């Protein structure tokens, strides 16, 4: 019997295995060079992503969700 397909809940990619990258191919840092305006990750998070385990990636996704509520790039 085959394993069930890993369905990604809509709006919750961080629950998938493997955890998908939040990259949306819009690589532009904010004016303070803190976050990418496309994926909301920091430069260290972007660098670490490819070698990170799913627990780390889920932690980054949690930070992204928090940042989405706090950061407004409209003034950039």
Confidence of residue 14 (pLDDT cuts 50, 70, 90): confident
- Residue 7 in tokens: 């369905």
- Strands (E) in 1-76, as ranges, are none
In the predicted structure, residue 5 carries a pLDDT above the cut 70: no
- Residue 43 in tokens: 């430069």
- 0.95 cut: is pTM over it? no
Interior angle at CA 5, CA 3 and CA 10, nearest 5 = 150
> 19: left (phi > 0), else alpha (psi -120 to 50), else beta?
beta
- The residue-averaged pLDDT of 1-27 equals 77
Domain locations in the chain as residue ranges = 21-70
pLDDT of residue 72: 79
Instruction: For residue 29, give the 3-state DSSP assignment.
Output: strand
Instruction: For residue 36, give the 3-state DSSP assignment.
Output: strand
């Amino acid at each position: 019997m085959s394993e069930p397909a890993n369905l990604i809940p809509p709006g919750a990619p961080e629950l998938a295995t493997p955890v998908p990258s939040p990259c949306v191919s819009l690589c532009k840092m904010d004016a303070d060079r803190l976050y990418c305006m496309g994926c909301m990750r920091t430069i260290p998070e972007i660098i670490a992503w490819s070698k990170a385990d799913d627990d780390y990636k889920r932690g980054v996704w949690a930070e992204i969700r928090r940042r989405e509520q706090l950061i407004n790039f409209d003034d950039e």
